Structure 1
Amino acid sequence: MDISTKSFKVISILEAISFLVLLGIAMPLKYIWDMPQMVQVVGMAHGVLFILYVIGAYFMKEKLNWSWGTLGIVMLCSVLPFGPFYAERKYL
């Protein structure tokens, strides 16, 4: 496994964790306990990681010769709470 694959793997895991933190911790803090600050911080981090994930997925498509269908599945996984974990395990 080379550096670009390892980098995408790390980004994938961080993106998944940030999404889970956003949904499981930050959103309840905002809507139940009226503390919106966490959503701003975690939301920004998740947004940056999401963009890096999408760009990285395209580079992995080129590098690993994924079909467009595989890229579509990997992209779909980016919007599901545990999806990046699945994509990282199955396609890397």
Structure 2
Amino acid sequence: MQKLLMTSLGRLRILAFAEGVSFLVILFITMPLKYYFDYPEANKVVGMAHGVLFVLYIFLVIQVGLEHNWKFKRMALAFLASIIPFGTFWADKHLFQAST
């Protein structure tokens, strides 16, 4: 884990995992709590955390893309992965690990 934190690509991989998990928690846990059990508070807290992780992910994709001279297609796929459920996990395997 400490080795991953040493590079911007490693930090992106960790952040992509956290962003993906927060997206799935919102989708499968807090949204049902909000709409089926009338409990919107959980969605507010997790939603804020997910929003922060999403913005950090976007900035880090730009940073890593510029550092590693990624083509536009690779960066676009990384951006697209952040709005599709399970997308950041796919991006880690097919885009980020391939860059190491």
**With structure 1 as the length reference, what TM-score do the two structures score?**
0.95
Q: CA deviation at 1:81?
A: 0.7
Q: Distance in 2 between matches of 1:66 and 1:4?
A: 14
- Coordinate RMSD, CA, aligned: 1.0
- Unaligned runs of at least 5 residues, structure 2: none
Partner AA of 1:20 in structure 2: L
2:90 aligned residue: 86
Asked if residue 63 in structure 1 is aligned to residue 67 in structure 2, the reply is yes
Runs of 4+ aligned residues of structure 1 deviating over 2 Å after TM superposition are none
Unaligned runs of 5+ in 1: none
**Number of residues of Structure 1 aligned to a counterpart in Structure 2:** 92
Match of 1:42 in 2: 46
Q: After TM superposition, give the deviation of residue 79 of structure 1 in Å.
A: 0.1
Deviation at 1:3, TM superposition (A): 2.2
